[in-house]
């Protein structure tokens, strides 16, 4: 529905297809979730989701766990399957003509800054923001910095 999109914010995401290594990790975690061990999946995924300085944060972990449990194992498995099947969209980035913000945590291990940079480079006029001291959960780790970037983007 391109005709309805007037602005675009891409946060901690990728235009690349999933890698073989990431797919293998996703498949292992899907198997755990199917086997009734969704709690283990939540625990395993947290360290790679946050900046190293935040790995010991019980507050962030509690939010991470509560969000995952609220969505549940079935939604998690569907999301992982969708990511595994994600097409390579890099060739279509040039068709984006609306004001676009590409935002990523500086230590995002799931969708690293170089992936965000590649996406931003593919979209003419886009703005890349790399959030310090944040990983894949930039919105939770550095909410003020993310809100500032979104506010500036929204004012365009």
Mean predicted lDDT score pLDDT of the chain: 97
Q: Is the pLDDT of residue 3 over 90?
A: no
Give the phi and the psi of residue 105 in degrees, each rounded to 5. Answer: -75, 140
The 10s digit of each residue's pLDDT in 67-104 is 999 999 999 999 999 999 999 999 999 999 999 999 99
In b/e form, how buried is each residue of 102-140, taking b as 16+ CB within 10 angstroms?
Answer: bbbbebbebbbbebbebbbebbeebbbbbbebbbbbbbb
Vertex 9 angle, CA 87 and 106, to 5°: 85
């Amino acid at each position: 529905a391109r005709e309805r999109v007037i602005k675009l914010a891409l946060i901690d995401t990728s235009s690349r297809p999933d890698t073989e290594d990431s797919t293998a990790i996703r498949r292992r975690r899907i198997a755990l979730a199917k086997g009734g061990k969704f709690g283990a999946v939540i625990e395993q995924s947290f360290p790679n989701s946050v900046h190293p300085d935040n790995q010991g944060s019980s507050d962030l972990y509690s939010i991470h766990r509560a969000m995952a449990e609220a969505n549940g194992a079935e939604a998690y498995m569907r999301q992982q399957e969708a990511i595994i099947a994600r097409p390579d969209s890099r060739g279509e980035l040039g068709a984006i003509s609306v004001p676009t913000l590409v935002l990523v945590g500086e230590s995002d291990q799931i969708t690293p800054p170089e992936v965000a940079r590649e996406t931003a480079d593919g979209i003419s006029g886009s703005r890349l923001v790399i959030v310090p001291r944040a990983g894949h959960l930039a919105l939770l780790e550095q909410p003020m910095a993310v809100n500032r970037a979104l506010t500036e983007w929204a004012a365009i």
